[in-house]
Chains A and B, each alone.
Chain A
Amino acid sequence: MAKGSIMIQIAVEQILSPAVNYAPEIWAVAFESLDGDRTTVRELATEKNQQFYGWSDDTEHEFGQLHFSHFALTDLWLAFPDLRRPPTILHAPSHVPSPPIDGARLALLRVRDYGFSFDAPAKFVLGRRVGSHAYLDENVPS
């Protein structure tokens, strides 16, 4: 029996103390089982906001040019019980329905954002939040 409309959302908010000079990668997944009928992904999107401040204890060293993306990486994997069949991987953002995909048994939403580090005497504080959502429909093929 098809599952109908499905929502999957995941968000990670990370705050680091200034004692830390390594920001771990954001890597998280949320997943939902499917019944193996016909799946259409209606929307796939991601959001990110971030605060970063860097400085050096040593006046002779300065931070180089920094650029942080305002986007995180999100994709949705549709996996099949036959492991010889490769998963279908869809990338965010997408706001139009995907082509119908038959037979998927698992919908897996993955969100990622880069990890990074700075050597002393550089210091930084970081707060970031990344979130992703997917809306899909699973129906019995007519």
Chain B
Amino acid sequence: MEIAIAGEGELVIRFIDSKGRTLMQEKLVVSGSPTVEARRIVALSVETSSGTALLAPVLVRQSNPKQRVTFDHENPSRFTRKRCDEIGCATDVATEAERGCVPPPVSGEASVVLSDDPGLAKLIQEAARKETNRAE
């Protein structure tokens, strides 16, 4: 699948299997001018200890709403829904995935842990609020 990005920003994509488990997560960050573009090509399957797992990509976060993103030339949520149906996700899993709501990567006997920047959005909001108050 080709992920096409037009414009700056950070996005997070989770790749779920038919049971709705996230087997892979990717964060893509593009910077430059407003006209910068990017492409990432990634297979929609991975090998696991129990065989090949088919994946559906889910766009879960986007830092810049003006950044345009497509999956194989399609709107991401539409592509996610279609792919979820193809790989046999249950209706509730597909519906949540279409809305960008899927869990973080599955952990097991060992896992890689990242904070996923929980405090960053709050910090930015507080700074913006202070700036607004000062301007008033």
Q: Which residues of A contact B (CB under 8 A)?
A: 6-22, 24, 27-33, 51, 53, 55, 117, 120-121, 123, 125-127, 129, 131, 133
Interface residues in B95-129 by Cβ distance below 8 A to A read 105-112, 114
Given A15-B105, A16-B24, A28-B40, list of 15 further CB < 8 A pairs? A6-B32, A7-B31, A12-B26, A12-B40, A14-B26, A15-B26, A16-B105, A17-B106, A18-B109, A19-B108, A21-B47, A24-B43, A27-B40, A28-B39, A120-B49
* Contacting residue for A126 out of B26, B48, B112, CB 8 A: B112
If over half of B's interface residues share one DSSP class (helix, strand or loop), that class is named, otherwise mixed; here it is: strand
Whether B36 and A30, one on each chain, are in contact in the complex, defined by CB atoms closer than 8 angstroms, is: yes
Binding site for A on B (CB under 8 A): 21-33, 35-43, 46-49, 53, 105-112, 114
CA distance in complex: A86, B40 (Å): 23
Cross-chain contact A31 with B38 (CB below 8 angstroms)? yes
Asked if B32 and A15 sit within 8 Å, CB to CB, the answer is no
- Cβ–Cβ < 8 Å partners of B112 in chain A: 15-16, 51, 125-127
A117 / chain B contacts, CB cutoff of 8 Å: 47
A12-B39 CB under 8 A given contacts A19-B48, A19-B108: no
In the bound complex, what is the Cα–Cα distance between A53 and B113 (angstroms)? 12
Are A10 and B29 in contact, CB atoms less than 8 angstroms apart?
yes
B106 and A19: CB pair below 8 A? yes
- Whether the pair A30, B32 counts as a contact (CB closer than 8 A) is yes
Q: Is A17 in contact with B105, judged by CB distance below 8 angstroms? A: yes
9 contacts between A and B (CB under 8 A): A13-B26, A17-B105, A19-B49, A20-B46, A30-B36, A30-B37, A33-B35, A123-B49, A131-B29
Chain A residue contacts of B37, Cβ below 8 A: 30-32
In the bound assembly, the distance between CA atoms of A31 and B28 in angstroms comes to: 14
Most buried by B among A6, A16, A55: A16
Report yes or no: A9 in contact with B23, Cβ–Cβ below 8 A.
no
Interfacial chain A residues near B26, Cβ < 8 Å: 12-15
State the CA gap A29–B39 with chains docked (Å).
Answer: 5
> CA separation between A13 and B114, bound complex, in Å?
11
**Neighbour of B32 across the interface among A16, A17, A29, A32, CB < 8 A:** A32
Known: A12-B27, A13-B27, A126-B112. A18 touches B107 (CB 8 A): yes
